Structure 1
Amino acid sequence: MDSAQAKLEQIMTRVTEWMEEHSLALATSKTEVVIFTRKRIPTIIPMRIGNTEITTKPAARYLGVMLDTKITFGEHLKRTADRAAQKSAALCHLMRNINGPRPCKRRLMMTVVESILLYGAEVWADALSVAYLRQRLIAVQRRGALRIACAYRTVSEPAIFVLTSVIPIQLMASERKRIFDRRNEGDRSRIAKEERDCTMVSWQEIWTREYRGRWTARLVPNIQKWTDRKHGELNFFLTQFFTGHGLFYAYLHKMGKVTVPTCPHCQKREDDDALHTFFKCTKWAAERSQLLAELGLTPQIPTPEAVVSKMLEGERSWSLVAAYAESILTRKTLLERERQRREHLVRPAIQN
């Protein structure tokens, strides 16, 4: 480290002379020193600047980006994730799932979060190849996406990103880096469009290979078609329709809330998931027949895919399905509350 100290003294001599020539002074007590090296050597050591001894730091901020000794940007990503999480949590408290702000307004929160997460991405994008750093940012982004869709926290990250049209953070960071690398090629808008197309192709490939959120993938297999729509917003009830996470006995059984996963409303004795509730259960046959008739569909058509396809065609179809999902789930909620009330009244009698 003697050589490092000698080089530091040479540099600081030149810096001090320049500052004195321009009537400036260096606050050595506030100076931070970081040793950049790939070698496995001590990097937290005492160094002298003039007559002041300071201890080197593991990282220092430069133009808003934390530079660590190994140039891995790990410290920057950790601090960025924590800061974005604080902002997201503060905004989430203002947004109820029911009768809260519309999704278009909830997206403002995601804009704030992503602006924090992506600052300096052109420099550190490659650092997201490290899984634990990538997951740190994704966790923050996922919480914001859950609030946009008014979704249960058990909805998987890939599914909620697709439903809310939120591009995963690692793909967005990589896109920004590619655009920056092509900054000398000319038309920036053309370059941005080309790189966004590449990003969407990569996202689609990831979504196709993904094993989580397969009910959502059945309804929304094509991300580009879903994100390009000009109408339709998700809400608390419609999100349950698309995710299968909600007032479904199969889901509640998996969460340990009920003892059996089968549907209590019909005689089919099938697991009560989103497919059964909205497309098979005889309890809601009349509402379902009316919906299919208004959409111009027949029961013989594979209804889950066909219904979503109709939703993407226009605002009217989207509103019809949204109203259908809200009606069914609202009535199921009332029936569930009645069941719980009856059980509460019966238990004391059994105990006596």
Structure 2
Amino acid sequence: MRWMSSVGLSLAAQKTEAVLISSRKIVETATILIDGNTVQSKRAIRYLGDHAEHEGPQAGVQEAANDSQQVDHFIRGPDLGTSHERRQLYKRNQIIALAKRAANLLGFSHSIRRSGTCDRRSGAYRPTGKGGAARDPTLEASIDLWQARWDASDKGRWTHRLIPNIRKWTERPHGTVNFYLTQFLSGHGCFRQYLHRFGHDSSQCCPICPGEIVEDALHILFACSRFDNGRRALEREANVEICAENLVDLMVARKSMWEAVNSFAASTIRELRLAERGRPGPGAA
């Protein structure tokens, strides 16, 4: 508590729960004092839709083993949804099993009763047997609200230009976002316009292209002559001229296009980073 106070953090007593982790067989309790309020430890707590309970060290091992068997049956069993849905449920159950094993090492078992919250986190679709997938109406409504706010906001407009449709993005069949791709999708990265905004570069203009052209994600992706070869390779892969309005749609439609853009982003950001390191800082004489 003293450390939290020293760094300007605090706990809300009315929102705080505690479970005592101990290797003792006898379940003990502890009392925590927060700004004059007492918080009594419990045998079980709920966190982000999961329930952690103290049941003894062997229960967690057995439940983890049972979960593994269920996951294996689900993955191998017939007519249980698409491969994407199986992977989603597999990931969720793997997390559950790992949490139980880790809890067991600490001296208590982590018994997780799946709640509606956990189910919603597993994705917009749930396996329903032979018919494919059923949509979660709660999550659907949440995405619709998210879309409305995304369209109405005045922030993140570059990202909105690339990803106007949230559902298409969140339900894409492939592709992960990494350090390099994130910089292009957000516009926050090793671009002179962004660096200059925070005083890390003396100019926001492209050092290669003629005229006072701002070096931002748009310029690097679609116009800068330094990256013409990489851009032509992307357009050969896409078989169409790329632009801000079709780039993400092309990536989502074909895995090979996603990988091509990802490769372009990585090589480009590395080159921009090297150029940045070679320039004198904004305060240099």
**TM-score, normalising length from structure 1?**
0.44
| Residue of structure 2 in register with 1:221 after alignment | 164
Given candidates 275, 280, 283, the residue that maps to 2:223 is 280
Q: Is the 8 A contact 2:175 2:258 kept in 1?
A: yes
**How far apart, CA to CA, are the structure 1 residues paired with 2:247 and 2:37?**
59
Residues 190-225 of structure 1: per-residue CA shift (max 9 Å, x gap)? 997122211211121122222221111111111111
Question: What is the deviation of 1:259?
Answer: 2.0
Question: What is the deviation of 1:338?
Answer: 2.3
| Residue of structure 1 in register with 2:260 after alignment | 320
**How far apart, CA to CA, are the structure 2 residues paired with 1:218 and 1:60?**
50
| Residue of structure 2 in register with 1:258 after alignment | 201
| Residue of structure 1 in register with 2:235 after alignment | 292
Question: What is the deviation of 1:60?
Answer: 6.6
Q: Is the 8 A contact 2:234 2:257 kept in 1?
A: no
Given candidates 311, 320, 343, the residue that maps to 2:251 is 311
Q: Is the 8 A contact 2:238 2:257 kept in 1?
A: yes
| Residue of structure 2 in register with 1:210 after alignment | 153
Matches within 5 A, 1:180-219: 193-219=136-162
Question: What is the deviation of 1:268?
Answer: 3.6
| Residue of structure 1 in register with 2:52 after alignment | none
Change (3 A) 1:297 1:194: same
Q: Is the 8 A contact 2:190 2:269 kept in 1?
A: yes
More helix by share: 1
The higher radius of gyration belongs to 1
AA partner of residue 195 (structure 1): T
Question: What is the deviation of 1:337?
Answer: 2.0
| Residue of structure 2 in register with 1:4 after alignment | none
Question: What is the deviation of 1:251?
Answer: 0.4
AA partner of residue 231 (structure 2): R
Residues 316-341 of structure 1: per-residue CA shift (max 9 Å, x gap)? 0000001111111111122222224x
Change (3 A) 1:197 1:328: same
**How far apart, CA to CA, are the structure 1 residues paired with 2:240 and 2:142?**
35
**How far apart, CA to CA, are the structure 1 residues paired with 2:202 and 2:208?**
15
**How far apart, CA to CA, are the structure 2 residues paired with 1:263 and 1:337?**
15
Residues 284-306 of structure 1: per-residue CA shift (max 9 Å, x gap)? 122212211221112xx6x0121
Matches within 5 A, 1:130-141: none
Change (3 A) 1:62 1:255: same
Unaligned runs of 5+ in 1: 1-29, 33-43, 45-55, 67-75, 78-103, 123-171, 177-189
AA partner of residue 234 (structure 1): V
Question: What is the deviation of 1:61?
Answer: 7.1
- Match of 1:304, SS state, is coil
| Residue of structure 1 in register with 2:129 after alignment | none
In the TM superposition, structure 1's runs of 4+ consecutive aligned residues that sit over 3 Å from their partners are: 56-66
- Match of 1:258, SS state, is coil
Question: What is the deviation of 1:237?
Answer: 0.6
**How far apart, CA to CA, are the structure 2 residues paired with 1:237 and 1:244?**
11
**How far apart, CA to CA, are the structure 2 residues paired with 1:269 and 1:229?**
38
Is 1:239 the counterpart of 2:182? The answer is yes
Residues 159-181 of structure 1: per-residue CA shift (max 9 Å, x gap)? xxxxxxxxxxxxx79x89xxxxx
Identity of aligned residues (%): 32
Report which stretch shifted further, 196-205 or 239-248.
Answer: 196-205
- Match of 1:204, SS state, is helix
Is 1:230 the counterpart of 2:173? The answer is yes
**How far apart, CA to CA, are the structure 2 residues paired with 1:259 and 1:324?**
26
**How far apart, CA to CA, are the structure 2 residues paired with 1:285 and 1:227?**
30
**TM-score, normalising length from structure 2?**
0.53
Matches within 5 A, 1:3-14: none
Change (3 A) 1:58 1:202: farther
Count residues with an aligned counterpart: 187
AA partner of residue 200 (structure 2): K
Question: What is the deviation of 1:58?
Answer: 7.4
Question: What is the deviation of 1:265?
Answer: 2.4
